[in-house]
Amino acid sequence: MTIVAIAWNTFREAVRDRILYSILAFALLLIGASVILAGLSIGQESRIVKDLGLASTTLFGTFIAIFLGITLVSKEIERRTIYLIVPKPISRPGFLVGKYCGLALTLVVTVGVMGVMVFLLAALVDGGATPALLIAVGVDFVALLIVTAVALLFSTFSTPTLSAIFTVAIFVIGRLSGDLTLFADQFADAALKRGIWVMYLALPDLGRFQFGSRVVQGLPLAPADIGMAAAYGLAYTGFLLLLAIAVFQRRDFK
Amino acid sequence: MSVRAPRRLTRAPWLAGALAAAVLVGLVVPLHRPQAVAAKFDLIEERVWLLPPAGALRVVSLGFHAMAADAIWLLTIQYIGGHLIGDRQFPHLRRLVDTVVDLDPHFLEAYTLGALFLNYSGARVQTALDLLQRGYRANPNRWELPHDIARTYYLELKDYPKALEWFKITDRIPGRPHYIPRFIARLYAATGHRETALELWQAMRDSATSDWVRDIANREIAKLERQSATPFTPGASDTSIRKRP
């Protein structure tokens, strides 16, 4: 019950944040502008609208996850409200999980708005909007859950600025980590190859959640792939949350 | 005693806003516009020249490969448009299209439209065929690519056995156009080449999504109609088709 209350409070606090509306406005503007760009593409209107729309959803969803996530804990410390919460019968893990769920709920709403706009524009441009488009947005949302958990983890022990830098770095690494396996194949040294593989397995692979290209090309989506990606995303999020709880437990707020 | 701000200062935000608008309209735009208009074509050429290799673009696009491919595709369209109204030569077209399909191997129109311009405006038939065959290898379930390969062999190279081979591949792929079995029959019989050519161009004109493609198709249809008075001379390869089972 406490977790739900904290989550709801975090959600209400997030939707009052002006930064959320600024990012959302930019996202909707860019998604809308894709229709203008599509007009220049010679027969590729639907493709441009979907590609740009899905990429904007991912990118701006990530911005929201980072900018709101990095202040989740640090804001409480800065305002000293954490000193009022900690002595209360609220467990620290419960507090963190509640905060995380509140931000995840905010992301559900914002990504949902962006996804529906992409869907409607795609339907408007050539009637080519399929439910698969919304599935692609949904799978991509799991990647945002990982980014949010990364931001929360850094937020438990670092300043907002540093947390933002670290989270952006992890996002970039995560988007490119799939290429690590290609690099590994280039090396003859078995130990180095194994090292790169270990690094790849430990880092988040955010490329696994990109089903948008397949949807845009009209290629079928394999339910097993979607299920595996979602399971991987949720497992990785769980790992990051546990790590964040471990760090947060060790902090002294007395 | 309260101190009131002078009236001039209260109005300052509006004044500053009006001044900013005046500077933009009166100075910035007139200074920028002539240069921007003059350099429009050069700017596209410069972007084409400076286009990084696809490998580098894959890294900097952070996995947003499809969006990067779209951006290069829009640049390709501008490049084609610029040269269509100019020298009608496309020296960098293959590189641009290769970059697009390196980023997104499923970008079907990059293969088909790229090949069309390489073929009909650049007179680089073999390059167009290479591009289409690359597309077919990456997208074996799309009929459009073997269809365009067959069309190129048929219309440009007059290599009817090869055209037959590729039309047969097209015939096996779901969604192929209704006229393919008819073409295959005609190729076996080695007759009706003009009708086939005309039908191919009409199909291209009817399915065209741009005036550029429609213009090429109309030009070729007019050419075929002008030739209709003279009897059709089948190519040497027709004999070999007749020998097929």
Average pLDDT along chain B: 79
Provide CATH 1.25.40 ranges for chain B. Answer: 38-142
Which of B64, B103, B139, B212 best tests the A interface by mutation, with the highest count of A CBs <10 A?
Answer: B64
For the segment A174-199, the average pLDDT, to the nearest whole number, is 81
User: Which of B234-237's residues contact partners 24+ apart within 8 Å by CB, and which partners?
Assistant: B234/B190, B234/B193, B235/B158, B235/B159, B235/B160, B237/B158, B237/B159, B237/B160, B237/B161
At residue B89, the 3 state secondary structure works out as: coil
Write down the pLDDT at residue A207.
87
Is residue A44 pLDDT above 50, yes or no?
yes
Q: What is the DSSP letter of A221?
A: P
Tens of pLDDT, residues A212-242: 888 888 888 889 999 999 999 999 999 999 9
Tens of pLDDT, residues B30-39: 887 776 666 6
Contact: A41, B66; criterion CB under 8 Å: no
What residues of chain A have any CB closer than 8 angstroms to a CB in chain B? 37, 40-44, 47-48, 51-52, 55, 58-59, 172, 175-176, 178-179, 206-207, 210, 212-213, 216-217, 219
Contact: A43, B109; criterion CB under 8 Å: yes
Contact: B67, A52; criterion CB under 8 Å: yes
| Alpha-helix runs per DSSP H in chain A | 2-15, 18-38, 45-69, 74-78, 82-85, 92-126, 131-155, 160-176, 178-186, 190-202, 212-216, 223-250
The distance of A40 to chain B (nearest Cα, Å) reads 7
**Prediction ipTM score:** 0.75
Write down the pLDDT at residue A115.
92
Is residue B240 pLDDT above 50, yes or no?
no
**Which residue does chain B place closest to A206, by CA atoms?**
B63
pLDDT band at A71 (very low <50, low <70, confident <90, very high): confident
Sign of the CA dihedral running A214, A215, A218, A219: positive
What is the count of structural domains for chain A? 1
Average pLDDT along chain A: 87
Write down the pLDDT at residue B49.
80
Write down the pLDDT at residue B4.
58
Per mean pLDDT, which range of A197-201, B82-86, B95-99, B187-191 is the poorest? Answer: B187-191
Q: What share of chain B is helix, strand, coil (3-state, %, to 5)?
A: 75, 0, 25
Taking each helix axis from N to C end, the angle separating B40-49 and B29-38, rounded to the nearest 10 degrees, works out to: 60
For the segment A168-183, the average pLDDT, to the nearest whole number, is 85
Is residue B245 pLDDT above 60, yes or no?
no
Q: What tokens were used for B60? A: 């900097």
Nearest to A176 among B59, B67, B209 (CB): B59
For residue A46, the chain B residues in CB contact (below 8 A) are: none
Is residue A13 pLDDT above 80, yes or no?
yes
Contact: B65, A179; criterion CB under 8 Å: no
Per mean pLDDT, which range of A80-94, A167-181, A200-214 is the poorest? Answer: A80-94
Q: What is the CATH number of domain B38-142?
A: 1.25.40
Tell me the pTM.
Answer: 0.75
**Which residue does chain A place closest to B110, by CA atoms?**
A44
pLDDT band at B3 (very low <50, low <70, confident <90, very high): low
At which residue do the structure tokens 């269509």 appear?
B84
Write down the pLDDT at residue A63.
92
Give the structural domain span for A116.
2-250
Contact: A42, B77; criterion CB under 8 Å: yes
Pseudo-torsion of CA B47, B48, B52, B53, nearest 10°? Answer: 170
